[in-house]
Structures are given as structure tokens and as C-alpha cells.
Structure 1
Amino acid sequence: MNTIVTISIVVLIILVIAFIGAGMWFKRLATTSDDFLLAGRKAPFWLLATAYLGGYVGGASVSGYVGNGFNSGISEMWASLFVVTGSVIFIILFSRRLNYFGRKTNAVTISDFICARYGEKLRVPSAIVSLTRPAILTGMQFLAISVSMKVVFGTSTEFGVVVSSIIILLYLITAGQYSALITQWFQSILQAAGIILFALVAFKVIGDPNTVTVAFYDVLPKSFTNFWAIDTSTFTVYALTLGLFYLADPWMYMWAYVGESPRVSSNGMLAVLGGSYYNVLPFLSGMAILVGVTIGKFTMPDGLAGDSLYAWFTINFSNTAVGVLILTGLMMTIISCGSSFAMNGVTILTRDIYQKIINKKATDKQVLFASRVSLVIVVAIGIASALWLPILVPLWALAQAIGLSGLFATTMSAWFWKRSTTAGALAATIGGGAVALCWAMYAWATTGSPGGLVFGLHAVHVGVAISIPLMIIVSLATKPDYEMAKATSYKVLGEEMKASKLIAEEDKPQRGGIFGWLCANTTGWKVFWVVIAVIFLGHYVLSLGFANQGLGMAMVWVSFIVGGLMIFMLAILGGKDIINMAKASKRAGDKLKDR
């Protein structure tokens, strides 16, 4: 067995044991269902930021994007650009109001928000649609680990899926969201280091970063450096499933509820926008590997899948220390994302199915137990989805298509359209989700993939095109309830936040303007947010203009520099929050002993 592989196995075993131990340590904090599901709504700024990054960058963002860069070049990066765009719009528009809404109503899921507006008739359909994504994406992370294990260790797909599911189950079942937050902090640091090191190795095989970047333009087809070399159908699929979807994403709703205040909820996630460059480096790495193959530096095994390129290249071209860090970082990337989506699925099953349907009078102790049972169920569904469709990106696209088709019209109307009705919401949720699923199954039968295009249309095109008219037509044909509309009104919630005692005064904007909204009241914070804004906007400028060699060179260097600096920032600041949480855990343990 390769030395890198052997040492990686040992390191991974040690880390898994450590994660389980951390879960046991923080179990004393998870004394209520709110603690288990949402970390008591107490996630501090930098821990929220780091853990969010750990969940945001997943298996598809590493293994899948390297393969996309290798096969199609920079134009495939529209996928990651739409993800970050949709996420930012959601954070700015909704995260603060949702955090307040959660504190006001004890909301846990996106269905709680929907039902506050349209009534409990929407509970089951919205829960089923919203569960689709976290369940499938949990399976997607199991599959990503399995693919890596197959390349690195030579194990079967089934074995890899089962092992990865057991790992995530063991450390989450103790403290739930607390376990997820703590481990995602550490995992995000390892994954960031792994992504940067992999890119450095991929470039070094050819030469220095400048030489490799020049080779992108001299060696590869021109379409590979043209960000706009993408067909219309693929562009619109990405725009809808990887951009617009995040405005109605059950996972983003969960993150909005977790923050210790509305300000932390939004600013914590915005603070890691520089992390978007961790999604750039895998594409550039894939292109660098293609340069190496094209100029004859090395050859690839016949039939090697793009999803397997990351692990294969690491084993064959890294020294022992770097290779271990890269492979460990890859596994941590996938595990952190998997645990985050698993917990999202747990919140939906526990809150929407058990607490609101099966046992409406459940005690908090019963709900806490049900949360752990729900985790087992989500993991089981994830295993089934991973083995049902063992390809990464189509699995992702299927989940996004069903979710967007069933939830977008319903949630946006709840926020902004007081004339919308329960009947309209039912029609849009059930009709949109069902049509998207049926179209995906038809595409699977005719093209071999549920993410395939039939007559140039993806499932999301058809689902959204059905759900929005259904919401409008049925709502206009039925009687509205304007009083219920106030519960989720964007305007009403915004006004309530200004006067609410649920929010500390320091967490409310004290003045107008961008800095006022950010609550940036010191020079240090103002400078911080200016830097973040420049880095974030630079992502768009450098991406859209990548066909220009100068901008392409800038993109390469900015990605390396920003990525490197963020590792230290997240390690130090997130670590401080971990220490404070550990102290709180110890105090909680001492109180239990005194009883």
C-alpha cells in the first residue's frame, strides 16, 4: 500500500476518534431539542462563519470541480459563481429577518416559516420537498467519500458509502448541531489547506504559477479560458438550480436560525465570502492537470472519471507529507459538508414530521430523542440515494431542481405577496415539485441521467415554469387571508425588528448606510468590510474577464493569497469561539455534577 495512503488512514482514524470525543464532550450542552437541532441558537460570529464555510465547500466543490475544470475549462465555474451569488442575496435579504422570526416563533425549519403564512396544510408537502435536498446531498457526500476511498484505498463503492455514513452518524448523534459546528471549524481549516496544497502541486508539476497560467492560453483550446463558453441550457440550469435556489434553500434557513443574533446570522456568513476562492482553485487545478497531459508531462489511466482525478493525482504526484494533508483535507471537506446537510435533514424530520404530525404533545425530552432517531433515518436515506445514483453533479442538480420547483414560488410569495393564498401555495408546492420529479425521471429514462436535458429542458425549467403560474392563478381564484400574511411579511418583520426586545441594541443598525447596516462602528470593522467587499467583487471581475490573460494571472494569484490568509484568520478567530464554547460546556458539566 502507498505510504501516503497508509499514513492518511492512520490520520483519518485519529481524527474520527477525536470528532466522536468532541461530540461526547459537548453533549452536556445539548440538553434540549433546540440545543441539538440549532446549537441553542447561540452560534457566535467566527464559529458560525467558519462552520458555514465548512458546509458550503463540499465534495462536489472539490472532486467535481477539478473534473469540470479538466473537461471543460473555466466556463464551468459559472456553477460556483451562481452558488455564491444566490447565497449572498439570501444572506442580505433574509437572514436577519429569519433569525428574528426564529426567536419570535421558535421556528426550526423552512416549513415553520411557510406554515406561519399558509397554515398547517402546507406542513407535509413542504416538509417532503424540503427534505429532498439535504437527504440527497447527505448521500452525495457519502458518495464523494466513497469515490475517494475507491481511488485511494481500492475499496468498493458500497463499502465507502457505509463507512462514511457511520463516521458522520457517530459524532453527530451525541451533541447534534454543536458537534457539527465544532468539527466543521476544524474540518474547514483542513479542507482549505488541502485545496490550496492540491492546487500548488498541480501547478508545480508544470512549473510556477505564472508559467502554468500562460500555458492555459497557449496550450488549451480557447474555449477553456473563455468564461462565456457555455451553452444557454446549461447556463439557465446553473442560474436556477445553483443560484436562484438559495433564496428558498432549507439549509440556508437553518443557518439563519443558528446565529446568536440577527447581526451575527448575516455578518458571520458574509465574512467568509473570500472563501469563494476555494471554489476557484479546483477549476484552475483541473486545467493545470490538462495542460500537463496535453504537453506530455504525464498520462492518465484510461477510463478515470473526473470525480476521481483529485485523489488519483494526489497519490501519484505529491510527496508524503503534502499528500497526507491533501487527502485528509479532501475527506474533511466531504465530512463537514455531509454533517451539515445531515443536520438540516434532522431538523426537518424532527420538527415537521415528529413534533408537528406524529406527536404534537411531545415533551422536550421526547423531541430530543426523536432528533437522534431522525439522524439515523437521514443517514439511511443518504446511503440509499448514494447507491441509487452514483454520480455527483446530477445528484446535486436533481435535489436542487425539486427543491426550487416546490419551494421558490411559495416562499417568495410568503415574503412579498400578501394576496397569495393557502390553495395557491399548495398547488405551487405539490405541482412544482411533482412535475420536476416526473421530468427528472423521464430524463433519466431517455438520457441516462436525471439531470439530463429533454427537448433542451431540464427538470428545473419545467418545474419552475409550472409552479409560479399555479401560485398566481390559484391564489387569484381563492380568498386571501391578509391577517396571516403579516406573519411572514418582509416589511412587517423588518419593522418589528427595529423595536423588538428580542434583539440587543448593539445588534441593531444605529445609523443608515452600508456600514450602519453592518453595525461596523469602529475603524477596524470598517476596514475589514471594505477588504471583504473588494475581494468579493474581484471574484466577479476576474471570472467574467478570465479570457484576458492579465486578469487570468490575477485570478490565480488572488486565489492562492486570499485562500492562504483565510486559513489563519478562521483558525485563530474561530478557535477563540471554540475555547469559549468549551468553557461553557465545562460549566454545564459542573452544574450537572452539583445537582
Structure 2
Amino acid sequence: MNTFSLYGVILYVIILFLLSAFCIKKVLNSYEEYSHCGRSLSISFIIFTYLATWIGGGTIVGLVGKTYGGGAGQYWIIAISFVMQLFYAFIFLPRIRVLRQSSIAGFLAMRYPDYGQIIRLPITIGILIRNVTMTGMQFGALGYMITYIFGINSNLSVLLIFLIITTYTVLSGLWGVVVTDIFQGILQTAGIILLVILTIKLSGGINQIYQFYESTNNEYFLNILNFQKSTTDLIKYILAFGIFFFMSDQTDWERIYSSKTNKTAFWGFLIPLIVTLILLILPSYLGVFQRAFSLGQTESQFIIYKFVFENIDIKMGIFVLIGLIAAIMSSADSFMLTSGIIFSNDIIKRFINQNASDKELIFWTRAFILLTGAMGFAFAINISDIIYIWLTGIGMASIIVVPAYLLAWFSKIANSIGCICGMGIGIIYCILITIGMITANVDQILIGMLINLIVTMIISFFTSRPLQNTIYETYYWSSKFENIHIIKDSY
């Protein structure tokens, strides 16, 4: 099957490059087109690019591994983030459209503009940590696959992935990402559905799967509501990791900004969000069903690949394989592109060359796409637990950015110097996590955010108050937001 698999993967990669090349002319000389599609994305583009980004291969492979070892209730490790984004959609998204901001850094610079908007620097660091770990998560998932299929050294596998994804992402920017996401989104959705159906069939049916768990006294594996955590632990988990999605990812801010209309921005976010929550049930139960099929005798990180290449028809196997690769690539390209846009827009344009031309900004965006991919490569070859990478990236970004974000909406006291100092402490705390002096667990993430918040408020309280006009730039109950209607197109 390896030869056929290789041909299938090569054909898939060629199609990606052709789709990306189709968009090159559109983005060649326009930074607005390269980074935000000229703010003209229709709802079909928006829906597919969200689905392709949110349901990544790292998510699928990582979640299958978790549910294989701990039951369907592990669904909530990932799903909580999307539940929190439902609140984000109703509470913040319409206001973000009013502000016309494409980045979290731009939003916070409105509220904390002092010292030349230097607050963009720590925000950029926090968001990049999230993006790099997400990229590493995807690289790691695909690395497992290539290593298992072709017997290639895992580090070499990740390097090949890095080269392919960065190349087609660099070529045509956000247009290339959203166009390829339509193709990849269809493939990944069909692939995961087919994989679940085949697993049930080859396991002897649902009744046979249930009998397996009944015979081993592990019926709780089948209960998606069994998170295996106490109420206190669940609340801690939501506060430590779920609260990040009150702010949402930078990729989401860019798509909200790039949407053609307000209705497109709102419904284009909400519809795929609900679909994602439903589709994530599939990999959750896939891990459970795979445990029944293999009798729990296969390593969790290889469970999907072993099943595909040893137990199903070659044609179906190749289709499923390409669907998994599509899921991985469609997430990685979005986070790499976002990192490039953050660097060019919030660092180069603000602090290095305010008069940078479109060609210069495109150059710097591409350069940092490559750098993000390289850092993701480093993460992927040094950390084997995919979900751990995901949680660590969220946790560290939350420590640095979330307190200032929430205070920008809801506080009249927080000021620039307070938030800069709080973020600085947060960055130091994350460095201690990185070098192993602090463990990246739920309690330590909460402590880090709390320290950031306390430092911010103490310094803000004992220094000058922000100007009222500055406060009301982003204050949640500002008069500028009074006439917002979620699906109204005139605000």
C-alpha cells in the first residue's frame, strides 16, 4: 500500500500547489489582498476556512489518542474551547466588527496606546506562542503518520511537512489558504466520517463494541458526559484554558475582519462553530471504537494509521489517509500565515518602517511564516504529546494576554503601564515554564494569570488614570456599541 499511498499524497500536494498558484496574481502586489483577501470573503469561503482550521489533524489524532485511553468524555478537552467561542460570538464579535480591528494587538493598542503602542510587543509574543505550538501540534501529528507509513525518521518526516506547508502558504497568503481550505475541508470531513463507519463495521457493529466494554467493566468509556474530573477540576480547566477563547484565536480575528459583510462575519463564524462541536464527536468515539477493535493493544499515537494500513481496502485507505493529511495541513497553514501577518502588521509597520510598501510587508509576512514553521518544527521534534503541546500553548498565551484583554472591555482603571508590567511578569512566568522551573498544569496557569492581573491592577491603581476617551474606545458599554444588532450590516 505504501507505493499507492505515496502516489496519492503526491497528487494531493500537486493539487494544493495548483490551487495556491491560481491565487498568486491576485496577491502579488497588494498586502490587503495577501493578508485579508481585500475584506471580500463570502460566507462559503468563511465557513470552510473555519472548519478546515478548527478541525485540524493534530486535534483529530490527539483526541483519538485521548479517548482511546480515557473514553469519549475526553471530548471536552477540545470541545470546551468551542463552547466558550459561542459566548465570544454573541458577546464580542459584533463589537469587534464595529472597531474594524484585524488583530488582538490592534484592539489592545486602542485601549492602551501610551509609549508608542509598545503593548503590541508582549501581545505579539503571547499570540505567537499559541501559533507556534499549534503549528508544532500539526507537524507532530503528520510526522507520526509519515513515520508509520513510510518508515522515515520522525525528524525527517516533520522537516518534509514543514517544507511543503510553508511553501504553498508563502505563495498566495490568505487567498491561498481559504481556497485550499475548501478542498481540504471536504476531504477531511469525508475522511473522518468514513473512518468511523469502517471502524464500527470491522468491530462487528455497535452491539459488539458495547459488549467489549461491558466485559471489561469500562462502560464509562462510551459516556461522552463522563469527563472523569471533579466539578472543581472542570471549573479550573475552563478558567485556565477555556477563557482564552473568550478572546479567540488571531486567525479568527483576521477572518472576522476579512468578511465581506457583518452578517457574513457573524453567521460565517457561528455556523461552522456548531458544526465543529458536532463533528468532534466523531474522533471522540473513533478512539473508543478503535480500542474495542484492537482490544487496547496498540499504542495510541499510531492507532489510526495501523487501522488504515492493515485493515481496510487500499482505495478507501488512501482516501482516509489524504483526509487526515488535509486536516493537518489546513490548520497549520492558517496559524503560520497569521504569525506572518502579526509580525508584518504589528511589528514592522508599527515600530520599524511605518511607511513600508505593500511589497515590503508581503516580504516580511512570508519571512515570518517560514520562521513560525521552523519554530513549530522544533516543538514537534521535541514534544511527543500532541494535546500537551496544544494546552501548553493556550495556557502560556492566556497568562500573557487574557487579563489585559478582559480589562480592555470591562475596566475603567487599567492603564497602559499597568498592563505592560502585568504582561512582562506573565512573559517571565512563561519563560520559567519553558525551562521547567514551573510545571504547565492547570493550577500553575491560573496562578500565572492571577499574578498578571494583580500586578496590572496594583500599578494601574497607583498611577494616572487613562483618559476617558481612551477608555471608551473599547469599553463594553461604550455609546459606540449602543445600536449594534448582530446581523445588521450598517454598523
TM over 0.5: yes
Provide the residue aligned with 2:75 in structure 1: 77
Provide the residue aligned with 2:178 in structure 1: 181
Residues 327-406 of structure 1 mapped to structure 2, 5 A cutoff: 327-406=321-400
Q: Deviations over 1:100-155 (max 9, x none)?
A: 322xxxx4321111111101120211111111111221122111111111111111
Provide the residue aligned with 2:265 in structure 1: 265
How far apart are 1:399 and its partner, in Å? 0.6
Residue 220 and residue 458 in structure 1: after superposition, are their counterparts in 2 closer, same or farther (change >3 A)? same
Provide the residue aligned with 2:159 in structure 1: 162
- How far apart, in 2, do the equivalents of 1:369 and 1:493 lie? 40
Provide the residue aligned with 2:464 in structure 1: 479
- How far apart, in 2, do the equivalents of 1:441 and 1:75 lie? 32
Contact 1:72 1:224 in 2 (8 A): yes
Q: Deviations over 1:26-74 (max 9, x none)?
A: 1122131121112222211121011101000112321111111110002
Provide the residue aligned with 2:481 in structure 1: 495
- How far apart, in 1, do the equivalents of 2:460 and 2:358 lie? 37
Q: 1:253 and 2:253 equivalent? A: yes
Q: Which of 34, 43, 48 lines up with 1:36 in the alignment?
A: 34
- In the superposition, the TM-score normalised over structure 2's length comes to 0.92
How far apart are 1:219 and its partner, in Å? 4.3
What amino acid is aligned across from residue 302 of structure 2 in structure 1?
S
What amino acid is aligned across from residue 344 of structure 2 in structure 1?
T
Q: Secondary structure of the equivalent of 2:412?
A: coil
Contact 1:33 1:371 in 2 (8 A): no
Q: Secondary structure of the equivalent of 1:342?
A: helix
What amino acid is aligned across from residue 371 of structure 1 in structure 2?
T
- How far apart, in 1, do the equivalents of 2:276 and 2:377 lie? 29
Provide the residue aligned with 2:234 in structure 1: 235
Provide the residue aligned with 1:192 in structure 2: 189
Contact 2:210 2:219 in 1 (8 A): no
Residues 484-523 of structure 1 mapped to structure 2, 5 A cutoff: 484-492=470-478, 495=481, 498=484, 507-508=489-490
- How far apart, in 1, do the equivalents of 2:235 and 2:5 lie? 40
> Where does structure 2 lack aligned partners over 5 or more consecutive residues?
none
How far apart are 1:183 and its partner, in Å? 0.6
Contact 1:409 1:468 in 2 (8 A): yes
Q: Which deviates more, 276-285 or 327-336?
A: 276-285
Provide the residue aligned with 2:293 in structure 1: 292
Q: Which of 85, 92, 95 lines up with 1:87 in the alignment?
A: 85
Contact 1:108 1:347 in 2 (8 A): no
What amino acid is aligned across from residue 12 of structure 2 in structure 1?
L
- How far apart, in 1, do the equivalents of 2:65 and 2:481 lie? 47
Provide the residue aligned with 1:14 in structure 2: 11
Contact 1:86 1:242 in 2 (8 A): no
Q: Secondary structure of the equivalent of 1:176?
A: helix
Query: Over aligned residue pairs, what C-alpha RMSD do you find?
Result: 2.4
What amino acid is aligned across from residue 327 of structure 2 in structure 1?
T
- In the superposition, the TM-score normalised over structure 1's length comes to 0.76
- How far apart, in 2, do the equivalents of 1:475 and 1:41 lie? 37
What amino acid is aligned across from residue 254 of structure 1 in structure 2?
E
Q: Secondary structure of the equivalent of 1:442?
A: coil
Contact 1:99 1:261 in 2 (8 A): no
How far apart are 1:278 and its partner, in Å? 2.0
Provide the residue aligned with 1:116 in structure 2: 110
Q: Which deviates more, 353-362 or 252-261?
A: 252-261
- How far apart, in 1, do the equivalents of 2:140 and 2:353 lie? 34
Q: Secondary structure of the equivalent of 1:490?
A: coil
Identity of aligned residues (%): 22
Residue 130 and residue 70 in structure 1: after superposition, are their counterparts in 2 closer, same or farther (change >3 A)? same
Q: Which of 297, 301, 304 lines up with 1:310 in the alignment?
A: 304
> Where does structure 1 lack aligned partners over 5 or more consecutive residues?
445-449, 510-595
Contact 2:340 2:364 in 1 (8 A): no
Q: Which deviates more, 359-368 or 406-415?
A: 359-368
How far apart are 1:290 and its partner, in Å? 1.6
Q: Deviations over 1:417-453 (max 9, x none)?
A: 1221112211222223432442454367xxxxx54x4
